[in-house]
Structure 1
Amino acid sequence: MNADAGTADQAVEQLRLHDGRVLEFAARGPQDGPVVFLQHGMPGSAVPMDTVWGSAVERGYRVITYSRAGYGASTPVPGRPVAGAVEDGRVLLDHLGVRRCLVAGWSAGGPYALATGAADPQRVSGVLLIASFAPYDAKGLEFVAGMGVQNAVLFGAAVQGEQALRTAVLRMGGALRGSGPADLAAAMASLLPAVDSNELTSAYGADNAANVNHGLARGDAGWLGDLHALTSPWGFDPGSVVVPVDLWHGSLDRMVPVAHARWLAEHLPTARPHLRNHHGHLSIGVGSLGDKLDRLITRTSLTRPV
């Protein structure tokens, strides 16, 4: 695990923000390629994942991401709403000279991608959602219905109070840290249909382990922050997103059930849904980011990489 942590540390950079906080980030791909600002899942970090980023970088996109507050070396910000993370992203993109981009969010990263699109439509040309959560207080949506046991427990604990949440995260974090892909697949069995279990025991599993281990290496503040943010008002109306949104979700998803995608498709005015019957939470995204971006970019003023 120490070797993995060292490799991960070398893959990311740090930006000192005006208030003294640290923001950890990474960038891959050609300098002149169309930029994709990627929002990671929960838990996660900025550590690059070839099995996720690779198909986009190979097609000529420049992928930029950062560790949200409390993950990796990024300074925690207790009590931040989803919309509260937008400013960190804006400062990072300004620092890197990015004027126009696509924003992508997988899983818990989806709401943050939408928040960025809502707040900065002059910079964001389109939003890609992969297996994204809908709002916790969404009318007509039973948020945890269809989730596997682990996620149902986490989100149940999030509304039971701080101590219950910390206990649940501590227990699940202990299962994640240092686990090999096969052990992790067994521990997360309630969340994994066969297609996702297969992904977790493939090359993606090693990528995911490095990414998550780095994100949690300094503690659980990022994970706790995400759970608080996802179960509280987001701080913006999803209906205010006016840029094109492509929405992908698998019907077999037990981490974020497909009902979340259906709710988002009905409430995002520019959403183009792509619901896939034979995919789960992982299989819908592994190895296909480039193809999804190629589809989205045709709905924008950006030029598809050659």
Structure 2
Amino acid sequence: MNQQLHADASAAAVEQSTAIDKYLIPRVFEIQTGQGMTTRAYEVGPPDVPLVIGIHGTPSTGLGHVVNYVASGAIFCRLVTFDRQGYGGSTPQPGRKVHHIAPMVEAILDHLAVDTAAVYGHSGGGMLALATAALLPSRVSRAACLAGNGPNFGARGFDYADGCSPLMLEEILEARKGPEASRELYQRYVDPKVSDPEHEKLLYSENDRRIMRLLAPLREKIAQQLALPESLYATEDAYVDDAQSWVSPWGFDLGSMTVPTRIYHGIEDLQVAPRHSEWLQSQIPNSTLELFPHIGHNLSQLMPHIFAWLVGKD
């Protein structure tokens, strides 16, 4: 009898472990998001838990959010993220503005047959999460902005360029000159083929660099699991579209937002000054701000905490 109980317990443990492993193996799929556009999306986590939509920053793809989810093991929620227009496997949308993210998220929710979900965005994706919450209030339960930047110009004298780190200041000043200036800046500093340790130190805190080294093997493993084909689109073009969208009106009013919103920022962020998040919080009703010492632009260590808030109950 004892041997049988032990065998049954072992079999159950193996089955449970296999199920958890399955939850942490990401899946990739494509969605038609209208006007002939295709979006590559990623899904990871159990199917029977609350859904969270993740929006990546600049330049990047949805893969980074998958890596953070797997590293955190936050299987109390299901994550769906995607490559934004022109990145990875998603069709470019030249001339796009910040508010153009909302139809993409809505198409994803429709594809998944989900009425509502929480949404978050990191860095250049932060404003996009806010746009989604502002423009799709009936479909977004909660919104989080992680190390996100404010608008080019805002109320009460806010100016994106005031107080930026040297490289970020140059980035926004060049963007204000037009697409070609943004393209030239990308070719000098942003293109991953341009490797400069000194520039990296100006962009990432020491803690940021440690996290990137720690997660690099996991990122490579997941990329191999997904076996993604090489992108047909130029990251440079997507970056230029992003930079130009930053210096254009966002297309929604922060003061009109009704979705519960939380803003997260590392005090040691070398890319987006914490004052951006402080200003955003002052403009968004029903919003709160959390600032974290020792944390820079990379908020990977905080993801379980952030996911838990996103799927929480009022």
TM-score range, shorter chain: 0.7 to 0.9
Determine helix, strand or coil for the equivalent of 2:294: coil
Counterpart position of 2:297:
281
Aligned AA for 1:291? H
Render the CA deviation track for 1:3-52: whole Å, top value 9, x for unaligned. xxxxxxx9632223332111111111111110000010111112254541
Is 2:162 aligned against 1:145?
A: yes
Is 2:222 aligned against 1:172?
A: no
Counterpart position of 1:293:
307
RMSD over aligned CA atoms reads 2.7
Aligned AA for 2:138? Q
TM superposition shift of 1:263: 0.1
Residues 250 and 279 of structure 1 are in contact (CA less than 8 Å); yes or no, is this contact kept in structure 2? yes
Aligned residues with identical type, % of pairs: 27
Counterpart position of 2:276:
260
TM superposition shift of 1:88: 1.3
1:203-222 alignment runs, 5 A limit = 203-204=215-216, 207=219, 218-219=233-234, 220-222=236-238
TM superposition shift of 1:138: 1.4
Counterpart position of 1:90:
106
Aligned AA for 2:176? V
TM superposition shift of 1:75: 1.2
Give, in whole Å, the separation in 2 of the partners of 1:60 and 1:255.
Answer: 31
Structure-2-length-normalised TM-score: 0.81
Aligned AA for 1:192? Y
1:62-141 alignment runs, 5 A limit = 62-139=78-155, 140-141=157-158
Aligned in 2, Cα 1:203/1:65: closer, same or farther, shift over 3 Å?
Answer: same
Counterpart position of 1:197:
209
Residues 158 and 165 of structure 1 are in contact (CA less than 8 Å); yes or no, is this contact kept in structure 2? yes
TM superposition shift of 1:97: 1.2
Give, in whole Å, the separation in 1 of the partners of 2:145 and 2:221.
Answer: 22
Render the CA deviation track for 1:59-79: whole Å, top value 9, x for unaligned. 321101111111112111111
Aligned in 2, Cα 1:184/1:292: closer, same or farther, shift over 3 Å?
Answer: farther
Aligned in 2, Cα 1:214/1:289: closer, same or farther, shift over 3 Å?
Answer: farther
Render the CA deviation track for 1:169-201: whole Å, top value 9, x for unaligned. 123343x14x8xxx6655411122222222233
Q: Which runs of 4+ in 1 moved over 6 A?
A: 208-211, 213-217
Residues 51 and 287 of structure 1 are in contact (CA less than 8 Å); yes or no, is this contact kept in structure 2? no
Residues 158 and 231 of structure 1 are in contact (CA less than 8 Å); yes or no, is this contact kept in structure 2? yes
Counterpart position of 2:41:
25
Aligned in 2, Cα 1:131/1:115: closer, same or farther, shift over 3 Å?
Answer: same
Aligned AA for 1:22? T
Counterpart position of 1:160:
177
Counterpart position of 1:5:
none
Render the CA deviation track for 1:192-226: whole Å, top value 9, x for unaligned. 22222222332258739998x99977312221111
The number of residues matched between the two structures is: 283
Aligned in 2, Cα 1:19/1:145: closer, same or farther, shift over 3 Å?
Answer: same
Render the CA deviation track for 1:68-121: whole Å, top value 9, x for unaligned. 111112111111110012101111110111212110111111111011111111
Counterpart position of 1:3:
none
- In structure 1, runs of 5+ residues without a counterpart are 1-9, 301-306
Query: Which structure has the bigger radius of gyration?
Result: 2
Aligned in 2, Cα 1:251/1:48: closer, same or farther, shift over 3 Å?
Answer: closer
Q: Which has the higher contact order (CA 8 A, sep 6+)?
A: 1
Aligned in 2, Cα 1:134/1:275: closer, same or farther, shift over 3 Å?
Answer: same
Q: In structure 1, which of residues 38, 52, 72 is the aligned counterpart of residue 54 of structure 2?
A: 38
Give, in whole Å, the separation in 1 of the partners of 2:242 and 2:221.
Answer: 19
Aligned AA for 2:132? T
Residues 52 and 311 of structure 2 are in contact (CA less than 8 Å); yes or no, is this contact kept in structure 1? no
Aligned in 2, Cα 1:215/1:53: closer, same or farther, shift over 3 Å?
Answer: farther
Residues 92 and 233 of structure 2 are in contact (CA less than 8 Å); yes or no, is this contact kept in structure 1? no
Aligned in 2, Cα 1:11/1:32: closer, same or farther, shift over 3 Å?
Answer: closer
Determine helix, strand or coil for the equivalent of 1:74: coil
Determine helix, strand or coil for the equivalent of 2:189: helix
- In structure 2, runs of 5+ residues without a counterpart are 1-25
Give, in whole Å, the separation in 2 of the partners of 1:161 and 1:98.
Answer: 39
